[in-house]
A and B are shown apart, each in its own frame.
Chain A
């Protein structure tokens, strides 16, 4: 009934890549790239339009992710790379550029950036082409940190652009607490549209601000570094770490009992988990269901929906949610629906975010279940 497989938004699917999907975007008009030229794509089945466009959007993001990776791919003939004397450039190896996990990281970043910057009418399509000048990084930091970075809005010269980028990156490093001169990115690398540097910076920003996404664990990029010395191009390979394991997804806030529990009381944490598990099973057993793993079995939202129905005394007709969950979007929808039911039941607004539950964040899940436990422990 529940799926244990952890999937990430949006999912990669290598079938079905037609250019026409670019023309079928959902979202607001302002975000549309082009108006569909061929009416037939709108199709007769109007009722399913929403579903289609959602899929298309995901598909489209994947294409963009692939594009970004491809453009950083090492040229076929490395020796032919056109470089100035003593110039250095970095390229992804073919294996890395085809790495599905890395592709997911790019997809997730684009997904998150667009979500975060939608209210500023910023649309990110290509991770390097759109981010190398620092404008979007600036807007992102200004929004997330609620600051103002004093740089000229538009700079005409390349030199001006570089200076602006320099200031933005310095600000980023200060916020992220990066030790000076040890960061893996620099204004120069980013301005060169260096894939790895841009991704590493973005991942760190996403983690710092607890973006509601979960990256694949331990993604690395194999990079070919090409340098021209004395008229000769020399190359060597290095490995850059892109992601590690995300231990916690929930936003930092005022410390609560769960923070303490996680930091200082592993034995007490186990105890809390056992009682919450017993509470859930006491009710779920009535419909012949059993939870054994609090950490992951609630992330698809199915048990949450059923549990709220059991606690509040109603049945949830099965067409209102996905009993069999396929893909991340359905998980998110289920969890969202469970949140709505909890709100209707008069529960206080949970501190946990829908995305954190769907991404399987343990602390968020426990907080949510504890909220239910507090209200319904006596029934």
Chain B
């Protein structure tokens, strides 16, 4: 737990930085989930994300307090932990390590300085699968980590890590799914408690595999509501284009089985991905 005063310092310190690719005032981005600020904390480059919550009530502040410690996962190389949090209503701030390449989504679709060849794409997939396998081994499981390329970050060595800071808190974005393209049809329809969350994550992984192989954004031409309704009710699915290696094609199909009970778990596909990286 750090005080908001320190965050203010982070903001001030962040202000003058104007290095390569960094905006002048330190604010990296603003989205539906909140503002991202870049700064320094205890000598480390960090990202502070100020959550977008309309009114931080005492209850929300308390929930934040109980939920964030679970996101401090330092035990796995493919997980990017939440370093600290500032619970200072009206501000709730989550601090994580700064990643110069940003999200995997950014690396794949929005930048051109790093070329991602097929081998690198498979290595990303393997990194993600290992991270997910670890998350799925936790008891209790982390809820509301929705796997997508937007919630995976890439470090300087091009290692992909699951970004715990992108986990949604119980009070965040209730009833709103901004990236349904990665979600399984059952996760778009049924409540998490009526769902096999691990199997639903495997579907999301399959969409990620598709994305890594095609270098396209799934359903990029559809707005979230259109895409969600069509996946949930009209059987809209990503189409695997010709030219994808046969074994990768098969892996995607297995992971995207319409029957959640027949999808593999991450421990089962890690060896397959390991073979592919050879």
Q: Identify the stretch in B9-17, B120-128, B186-194, B270-278 within 8 Å (CB) of chain A at 4 or more residues.
A: B186-194
The reply to whether B54 and A315 contact each other, CB–CB distance below 8 Å, is no
Q: When each residue 219-232 of chain B gets 1 if its CB lies under 8 Å from chain A and 0 otherwise, what string results? A: 00001111111101
The reply to whether A310 and B188 contact each other, CB–CB distance below 8 Å, is no
Smallest CB-CB separation from A338: which chain B residue?
B175
Find chain B residues with CB under 8 A from A344 CB: 54, 176
Tell me the smallest distance from the CB of A46 to a CB of chain B, in Å: 13
Find chain B residues with CB under 8 A from A317 CB: 175, 177, 180, 187-189, 228
Question: What secondary structure prevails in chain A residues at the interface with B?
Answer: helix
The reply to whether A313 and B223 contact each other, CB–CB distance below 8 Å, is yes
Which one of A287, A320, A337, A343 lies within 8 Å of B225 (CB-CB)? A287
Q: Does B178 contact A (CB under 8 A)?
A: yes
Interface residues on B, range: 20 to 34
Q: Does A341 contact B (CB under 8 A)?
A: yes
For the complex, what is the distance from the CA of A340 to the CA of B191, rounded to whole Å?
19
Q: Does A319 contact B (CB under 8 A)?
A: yes
Question: What secondary structure prevails in chain B residues at the interface with A?
Answer: helix
The reply to whether A315 and B189 contact each other, CB–CB distance below 8 Å, is no
For the complex, what is the distance from the CA of A18 to the CA of B225, rounded to whole Å?
44
Number of A-B contacts (CB under 8 A): 68
Q: Does A264 contact B (CB under 8 A)?
A: no
Q: When each residue 74-88 of chain A gets 1 if its CB lies under 8 Å from chain B and 0 otherwise, what string results? A: 000000000000000
Q: When each residue 213-225 of chain A gets 1 if its CB lies under 8 Å from chain B and 0 otherwise, what string results? A: 0000000000000
Tell me the smallest distance from the CB of A212 to a CB of chain B, in Å: 24
Residue of A309, A314, A318, A343 contacting most chain B CB atoms (<10 Å): A314
* A286-B223, A306-B225, A318-B232 known; A313+B190 contact, CB < 8 A: no
The reply to whether A315 and B190 contact each other, CB–CB distance below 8 Å, is no
Q: Does A316 contact B (CB under 8 A)?
A: yes
The reply to whether A309 and B224 contact each other, CB–CB distance below 8 Å, is yes
- Give residues in B with beta carbon < 8 Å to A: 32, 54, 173-178, 180, 187-191, 194, 223-230, 232
- Give residues in A with beta carbon < 8 Å to B: 286-287, 306, 309-310, 312-321, 337, 340-341, 343-344
Q: A313-B224, A316-B176, A337-B175 are in contact. List 15 more A-B contacts (CB 8 A).
A: A286-B225, A286-B226, A314-B173, A314-B177, A314-B178, A315-B180, A315-B224, A317-B175, A317-B228, A318-B188, A319-B191, A320-B175, A321-B175, A343-B54, A344-B176
